[in-house]
Amino acid sequence: MSKVAVIGAGYVGLTTAACLADLGHDVTVVDIDKDKIALLRRGTVPFYEPGLRELVERNAAARRLAFTTSYRDAVPGAEFAIIAVSTPEGEGGEADLSYVEAAAASVAEAMDGPLIVVNKSTVPPLTGDMVSQVVKKHNTRHAAAVVSNPEFLREGSAIYDFTHPDRIVVGSNDRDAAEKVAGLYAPLNAYVLVTPNIYTAEMVKYAANAFLATRLSFINEIAWISERVGADAKLVAEGMGLDKRIGPSYLDAGIGWGGSCLPKDVAALAAVAERFNYHPELLHAVMDINRDQRMLVIDLLREALEELPGRVIGLLGLAFKPNTDDMREAPSIDIARVLLNAGADVRAYDPAAIERSRMLLPEVEYMKDAYEVASGADALVLVTEWNEFRQLDMPRVKQLMRRPVLVDGRNIYDPAVMKSLGFAYRGIGRE
């Protein structure tokens, strides 16, 4: 088993650290956020991810997982330093690599021997070269190999994704270093793709996320067409997905994709292309469709309610997807802001994301459950497909509402059943 330093205690860094510790490695997480480290030392995970708190507690108790704010407590003696810091979208869509650069410099200053520096953060091609140059600049005494090892963790199922990966991708201009990084995951018995250089591994992550976003925008455009010709987009997607060449994943029409990965990664990949004087028409179309899709909800509400000022609109769900409290690029933000600016009264409930939403949308009225949202509402919008919303007592919901307008932004309800209950039901690409 190896001694590992993980830089960054966010979604990716903390999940990676806890899972590596659970495989038996000696892991120390370093983060410059003193409050976050204090919480973790007390056993509190500062965000919602199913199963992560228990995993952190177990491995901290076994002394395989530790937390610090000092690079000098984590890096000296380590065989691997895994950089898992934020890479937010910068001006023009390019990835902001300032946190990666700062982490690389701090790692270099603390290293006391040969080290393998692993880029786990989602970064554009050529970032590995930058990290290598930064490390050499800040430490001329010891050699460091840089390896790209992109993560493929889905928020809400990150632990499962780590322990049951479709593939592990590693790439470096130093083949031996890449093989050693792959060895960290040996107990998982997963398929390992070792690329012949670091740029290929970096590109795999961006290409994968861009393709997933493309599938979602594609089915949303198909839904728009389907509704106008009288077709059911959900059944169209099912028919497509039965084709083995296509498959059913990421073919759920809805109100658009969000989160910490797809929006910024598609934008960053487009920025990379433009830096090399290539116009990525498809990527821009994917982003444009997603932006427009969020406003479809507003159009459906205006059509059903005639006017928005003074109307009470309830949002069921706030997080960008179920089983997380992440509000980054969540469709609920754009929808709520447009409704508020139009003069509507907006109320909302989410099982996990209310506290994070309060900071972004203080004008929204937050309720204790879905039924309180429905009470006296002129319309409900299903924004996030949490399982508890699938189990609602819909006759009770209708009875509580002032007007039974239901916009199903994730197509989780049966249109015929909803209409038979008396709802003015609108789905995405469904009559």
Kindly list the catalytic residues: 261
Residue located via tokens 């800040």? 138
Beta strand 424-426 pairing with 80-83: unpaired
| CA distance linking residue 197 with residue 190, whole number of Å | 21
287: tokens are 């982003």
Question: Which helix (H) or strand (E) segment is 424 a member of?
Answer: strand 424-426
Amino acid at 240: M
Neighbours of 345 (CB within 10 A): 19
Contact yes or no for 325/351 (Cβ under 8 A): no
Neighbours of 142 (CB within 10 A): 12
Rg of the Cα atoms in the chain = 23
Contact yes or no for 389/412 (Cβ under 8 A): yes
220: tokens are 């949303």
> Edge-to-edge strands of the sheet including 115-119?
65-68, 26-30, 3-7, 80-83, 115-119, 144-148, 168-172, 192-195
Contact yes or no for 309/344 (Cβ under 8 A): yes
Amino acid at 10: G
* Alpha helices (H) along 26-143: 34-41, 52-61, 71-74, 98-110, 127-138
Phi, psi of 16 (to 5 degrees): -60, -45
Amino acid at 51: G
100: tokens are 């990666």
Residue located via tokens 């970096």? 202
> Minimal CA–CA distance to 118: which of 209, 33, 40, 183?
183
| CA distance linking residue 66 with residue 49, whole number of Å | 19
Phi, psi of 73 (to 5 degrees): -90, -15
Q: How far apart are the first and last CA of the chain?
A: 57
| CA distance linking residue 259 with residue 375, whole number of Å | 30
Phi, psi of 258 (to 5 degrees): -145, -150
